[in-house]
Amino acid sequence: MSPTNPARPLPTAPISLHTALASFSALWSPRIVTHVNDYDVRVAKVEGEHIWHVHDDTDEFFLVLEGELYIALRESDGERTVLLPQGSVFTVPRGTEHKPYAPSGAAILMFEPTGTPTVGDRHDGIPDHVDATTGHALDL
């Protein structure tokens, strides 16, 4: 494991996730709250459907902060959907095609290796409403 990248300084004070989420309105376009080793900790507001995509080399961790999130999964034995109510976590295994969606909207926290695109390594195209696939720096 490599140490935290000195070019990415860590915050020197606690960060309120509520404040972080209130600082932007773009959907499916995460903000990077902090870093843990070579991983970004990202928050995002989501509503409606994302796209089917796959992360070939990394798992994807989700924590639902507000609302509820559904994740459709295409697995070797067929499709299934998991429901994550507020406060729930779920990890999509690497190589699993999935599509998150939130009919009523949600706020989520994700752990992903720095630079990992939120649309995965294989997808059908980036929706117009997604303005950053690797996250924006949080501007507080």
With contact defined as beta carbons under 8 Å apart, do 92 and 62 qualify?
A: yes
Cα-only R_g, the chain: 15
Q: What mean pLDDT is reported for the chain?
A: 86
51-91 tens-digit pLDDT: 888 989 999 999 999 999 999 999 999 999 999 999 999 99
Given a cut of 60, whether residue 5 has pLDDT beyond it is no
Domain annotation covers residue 2: no
Average pLDDT for 121-129? 60
The domain that holds 57 is classified in CATH as 2.60.120.10
Domain annotation covers residue 74: yes
Name the H helices within 1-140.
17-22
**In this structure, how many other beta carbons lie within 10 angstroms of the beta carbon of residue 130?**
18
With contact defined as beta carbons under 8 Å apart, do 102 and 69 qualify?
A: yes
Q: Into how many domains does the chain fold?
A: 1
Domain annotation covers residue 50: yes
8-48 tens-digit pLDDT: 677 788 999 999 999 999 898 899 999 999 999 999 999 99
Domain annotation covers residue 108: yes
Residue count (the chain): 140
Domain annotation covers residue 55: yes
Domain holding 117, by residue range, is: 36-123
Domain annotation covers residue 23: no
